[in-house]
Amino acid sequence: MTEIKSTQAIPASGPSRPITTAADMALKLLQPMQGLLAAGESAEAEIISIKEALQTFQMTLRLTLNNGRQATVEAGSSKAAAPGAAMLVTAVSDIRLLATLQPGNRQPQSSIDLDQLPVGTVVQGKVTVSQQVQQAGQTVFKTVISLLNSPLAGQKLNIESAIPLAPGSLITARVQGDQSLAFMPLSGRLDQLVLGQQLTAQNSRQGSLEGLLSALSSGSALPEQLRGAAERLLGLVPDMQQLGDAKTLAQALVRSGVFLEGSLLSGQTGNLTADMKATLLRLIAQLPGLPGGPLANAQAGATLGQALPAFARNALGALGQPNARQLAQSFPLPSRLPLNADGEADLEMLLKLAAAAVSRLQTHQLSSLAQTQTSPDGTQVTTWQIEVPMRDQHNIVPLQVKLQREEEPQHNRKEKPETLWKVELAFDVAPLGPLQVQAQLAHGSLSSQIWAEHSGTAKLISAELDHLRQRLVSAGLNVGELACRRGTPPQGPRTSLDQRFVDETA
């Protein structure tokens, strides 16, 4: 479908004469009904086009009979009605109908209710009426859309557009602040479909990296051909104390595996031996009994090809709705191990752990893509979600990091657009217990909120906040609020632009 940049929901504008508000309209068919309706029988009808003739209005009606059959008839009336109007028609004779307008909630809406469809809501609809008219010397298309999702599902909406929309076509659009709709092209919807499918699949298969790393470092007997790959993988895990150095931390983030495909696309293949995901894939390639060979992949592709039409319809219908994809975008990802992974790992279990570790990295990558978007006001949001395993004495624990950059559109060439940085950290080290850190840097000021699940840890951190503030100021930062609370950050519906990491009114 051709991309429509924006279209405005408008009051239904009919012909030059006033649109009727009377309860009944007399219609004369241009051709006999030929048995569609017997005298006294009724059917629902929708006006799909109307034009003004010399003394009458000529209408095209879509009838929906009691048996579900649909038929199109041409009729004339001395009164006008709006395109898309819903009526109940009763046959008086083979060429005459009496039409009654349906109640108001069955008629097309003239505006978008932002309380029921907040800004940013993705709506889907089916085009039921599309009529070309001349307006102020320009050609516009008056269109009626029947909404398929949202709280207004089943209701109709009047819009106008400079581009025609074919009746019967399905459209997806995002609600904007001025009650207009930004239509999403088919390519964008397919990208979302594939991304959502892959994100859900990878999240269902993923497992914690520390499960594999702990199994490899436990001294389990490994075949000679696997020892080198295992040692290289374990050698990429830094000590927790080393990550206190900014350069070491930056290097660990780069080597996390999240940027592997980007490096390959840009031809930067010199550091692949130090990439976590590339090293994991080498380890898997050397494990025996690797599933997913060429035959298995071909069979899976054939199965997907057969199921794709129905799957695509279901998935496109679920865009913008809470589903497993949104659960896969939660932060931090919970610790997760395959069943029976607590015993001594044999080669089969190592293969499962390694495959789950790759899926976990890919879940972070796909979640980053899903959260990278452009808001209706033009603000560009870029997200990087990363997981770095680190050594805490004899234990291996994950450090999960989420970086988000929000860059406002440049409305004035002389003014540099404002950039907001947000950072989230999540880790669990003994004896402090689970910790989450949320920080934002805007207008040169840094604010942070720390969450500790253990009450003793929360008290300890609160007592050290003044020292942390001094160190941040010494580093050249303007410091706003610093706070520590017991528990975990509040969860619930949020968007990347509406969520504030620091509640300055609390």
Predicted local confidence at residue 289, as pLDDT: 55
Predicted local confidence at residue 428, as pLDDT: 93
Strand partners, 407: 380, 419
User: What letter would DSSP give residue 80?
Assistant: B
CA distance 8 to 190: 24
DSSP-derived 3-state class of residue 288: coil
Predicted local confidence at residue 249, as pLDDT: 92
Predicted local confidence at residue 501, as pLDDT: 34
Which sign, positive or negative, has the C-alpha torsion 109, 112, 113, 116?
Answer: positive
**CB under 8 Å to 44, separation ≥6 — which residues?**
63, 64, 86, 87, 88, 89, 102
Please give the backbone phi and psi of residue 256, each rounded to the nearest 5 degrees, phi first: -65, -15
Predicted local confidence at residue 345, as pLDDT: 65
Burial of 96 (0-12, 13-18, 19+ CB in 10 A): middle
Predicted local confidence at residue 444, as pLDDT: 81
Cβ pair 354, 280 in contact under 8 A: yes
Q: Per-block average pLDDT, block size 10, for the chain (506 residues)?
A: 40 41 75 87 89 84 88 88 87 90 80 83 85 80 86 85 81 82 68 76 86 79 78 90 90 91 81 87 77 40 42 44 61 79 71 90 89 74 93 90 86 67 93 94 90 95 94 90 92 40 33
Closest CA to 402 of 386, 420, 421, 382: 386
